[in-house]
A = this chain, B = another copy of it.
Amino acid sequence: MQKVNVKNKFDLFQDYWSPKVVGDLNDSHIKLAKLKGEFAWHKHDNEDELFYVIKGRLLIRLRGEDIYLNEGEFVVIPKGVEHLPVAENEVHVMLIEPKSTLNTGDVLNEFTRRDLDRI
């Protein structure tokens, strides 16, 4: 059985907004992503999404509320809630969400990623 060292995994890729699968947990994927800049407003109609900050500081904008996540902090964005991740500087996050989740949710744009790499 293979353990995962999260920080070591982040050394294996550099591209932003392109989640990598690092584990399977029941019906969910455990993913790592590097973020920088502003993503796009979206929501996931059927999936809650965990954002856990491993490094850096992530702003998650909601309609009417801003949440700043520092290292060691997480938030669960419930299904159906519009959100916009913003990383002023590079941020490393762990994401846990159902395997059915598309990164841009209900929106298709230049950030959309299908068939995620497994590292």
CB–CB A4/B73 < 8 A? yes
Residues of B within 8 A of A75 (CB): 1-4
Within 23-74 of A, Cβ neighbours of B (below 8 Å) are at: 23-28, 30, 47-48, 50, 54, 62, 65, 67, 69-70, 72-74
Interface flag for A76 (CB, 8 Å) = yes
CB–CB B4/A25 < 8 A? no
Main secondary structure, interface of A, reads: strand
Residues of B within 8 A of A62 (CB): 1
Residues of B within 8 A of A72 (CB): 5-7, 54
Interface residues of A, count at CB 8 A:
34
Interface flag for A105 (CB, 8 Å) = no
Report the Cα distance A105→B98, complex, angstroms.
23
Other A-B contacts than A1-B67, A28-B28, 5 sampled, CB-CB below 8 A, are: A1-B62, A3-B75, A24-B48, A27-B27, A54-B72
Which residues does A use to contact B, with CB under 8 Å?
1-7, 23-28, 30, 47-48, 50, 54, 62, 65, 67, 69-70, 72-78, 81, 96-98
15 residue pairs of the A-B complex, CB under 8 angstroms, read A1-B65, A1-B75, A2-B75, A3-B75, A4-B73, A5-B70, A6-B72, A23-B50, A23-B74, A23-B76, A26-B27, A26-B28, A26-B47, A26-B98, A96-B96
